[in-house]
Amino acid sequence: MKIALCQMNPIIGDIEGNKQKIIDGYNKAIESRVDLIIFPELTITGYSPQDLIERKAFRDIVTKTTIEIAAITGDVGLIFGTITEEFDTVGTGLYNSAVLCYNGKIQFTQHKTLLPNYDVFDEVRYFESAKEVYVHEFNGERLGISICEDIWNDADYWKQRRYYRDPVQRLVEKGSTILINISASPYAYGRREERYKMLSTLTKTNQLPLIYVCVAGGQTDLVFDGASMCFNQNGSLEVMGKTFDEDFLIYDTKKEYEPITEVEESLEDEVLSALIYGVKEYAIKTGFSKALVGLSGGIDSALVTYIAVKALGKENVHVVMMPSQYSSEGSVKDSEKLISNLGITSDNISIQPVFDKINEMLQPAFEGLSNDITEENMQARIRGLYLMAFSNKFNYLLCTTGNKSEMAVGYATLYGDMNGALGVIADVYKTDVFNIARYINSEKEIIPNNIITKPPSAELRPDQKDEDSLPPYELLDKILRMYLEQYKEVDEIVSVVGNKEIVKNVLQLVDRNEFKRYQSAPPLRVSTKSFGYGRRIPIVQGWRKKNTSLTK
């Protein structure tokens, strides 16, 4: 069978726009003389529409549009993801479904069986699970159609499975000759390699070809990398879609292809590509054409500026330098060099006069009290005020510059450097920030080397260094990875890194600063566990305080 894969980038809720993309893809499939074209999961609505699903008006338009799309089909089959309704006396009556259309109508519908309810997924909130799976005969083949999570439960690959049911195995047992999976699988570094290994194992075990179609695009904090895959019955990957882009692929199950064995680049290359794509997608889909960054002379703001330039073009990025009495001459010069290297516009506006005036006005109330973090945060909040003024006046997308390490331990100021619409590197540890910066400079110096080599500093007090308040970033990040992504506790972490006091202090900082992260900009997700929607920890809680075995 000759099959087209349309790796589409929908916009959540843009039913009419998504419909037109499906029709355009279908017409291209006809021109390409294929038998079948396949689109990703929830193509009509975008993934995930979340509580839009609860609006009847929204669902009615989705249903109407699904029927309208089916009506334009001829002999070429069309599979796409949509929402369907089958009301009963129990449950929501709503399904995340794949529909197969040809000859002017919907000929077959398969609901999703396995509804993920972890990390960023919350499908149990909205959908019912399929009661059964079925195969459908089309053009001499028996199609076994599944949706995203349905294929992530293969007993031959996973040592521990999330679900008892295995819908894909049921499709195999029912006589499928081709397996099809439509997906909306968010990007995280390492996930594409995992998909490849899992799908290769599944196809080799079952001796069936597999067509895996994944969505592309960015949806707020989630990045979808595309990279749709076609495997033959021997488990060899034969065709793969572009990464971080839309694509139109054709796969002939009767043809032999050169096997593909490399599916993922280095962490630096992959994460940088994901962040650039995420910024571009967020800007386009929220109506911004220009970005703004507060440029401090440090590595975080330098990296964010570089990413913004790559995403939107140098003519669409503006930076503001906001020095104070504590800003080093080197930081200003480093910033100016980066501005020159990138060819972007800038402003240099001191915060010192405003800071002095605020101190003067607060002096009667603060008389007799020494300077502390209050004065440091005031400086950050003045900078936040400046940046929001620029954003409002010129309609800039304000990008925050905090990294994951800082966000984890609360080394950031609410209503100051946390101001902004998008946390560009908020899911990137500080050590990876350094590695990515070095990667950018691998052919020529773009980010000034002095920015990379100098000790990190917030420059909010004389001779300040990050390591005055935090452990060295190599140690900090090792602790954070184990706590945030591997769910390890004090004793387990201490057994690896030593120094129980440091470990306890870091974990307490993470827990204490949950309230800041609740108010932070959405972070572009590039790891398996980012802050934001996928990590839900209560602000008010006594876990570490009451559980003395963890703190002794």
| Marked catalytic residue, from 6, 101, 148, 230 | 148
Res 483: pLDDT: 96
CA distance 291 to 319: 8
> In this structure, are strands 229-231 and 105-111 parallel, antiparallel, or unpaired?
unpaired
pLDDT value of residue 550: 45
Q: With beta carbons less than 8 A apart as the criterion, state whether 169 and 201 touch.
A: no
Q: Are 214 and 244 in contact (CB under 8 A)?
A: no
Low-confidence spans in the chain with pLDDT less than 50: 548-552
Q: At 141, list the tokens.
A: 């083949």
Tell me if residue 268 is catalytic. no
| 112 is annotated as an active-site residue | yes
- Of the listed 112, 290, 337, 516, which one is catalytic? 112
Q: 168-186, pLDDT tens digit by residue?
A: 999 999 999 999 999 999 9
DSSP letter at 53 equals G
For 403, the token pair is: 């990294």
Distance, CA of 186 to CA of 195 (rounded, Å): 12
The angle, 0 to 180 degrees and rounded to 10, between the axes of the packed helices 299-312 and 267-286 is 60
Residue 548's pLDDT is: 44
Q: How far apart are CA 267 and CA 392, in angstroms?
A: 35
Residue at 110: amino acid letter: Q
All structural domains of the chain, each given as residue ranges with its CATH number in brackets, are 2-109+179-264 (3.60.110.10), 270-466+515-536 (3.40.50.620)
Q: Is 151 exposed, middle or buried (0-12, 13-18, 19+ CB in 10 A)?
A: buried
The pLDDT of residue 546 is 56
210 beta partners = 179, 231
Candidates 21, 41, 141, 230; catalytic one: 41
The H-assigned helical ranges of 399-513 are: 404-409, 430-440, 449-453, 473-480, 490-497, 500-512
Reply yes or no on whether 148 is catalytic: yes
What stretch of H or E contains 399? strand 397-400
Tell the residue number behind the tokens 């070429």, with chain if given: 76
Residue type, 504: K
pLDDT of the residue at 549: 44
| 3-state DSSP percent of the chain in helix, strand and coil, to 5 | 40, 20, 40
Name the pTM for this structure: 0.94
What are the strands, taking DSSP E only, across 290-349?
A: 291-294, 317-321, 345-348
SS3 115: coil
First to last CA, the chain: 65
Give the pLDDT score at 547: 55
In contact, 182 and 80? CB cutoff 8 Å: yes
Cα dihedral sign, 25-29-30-36 = negative
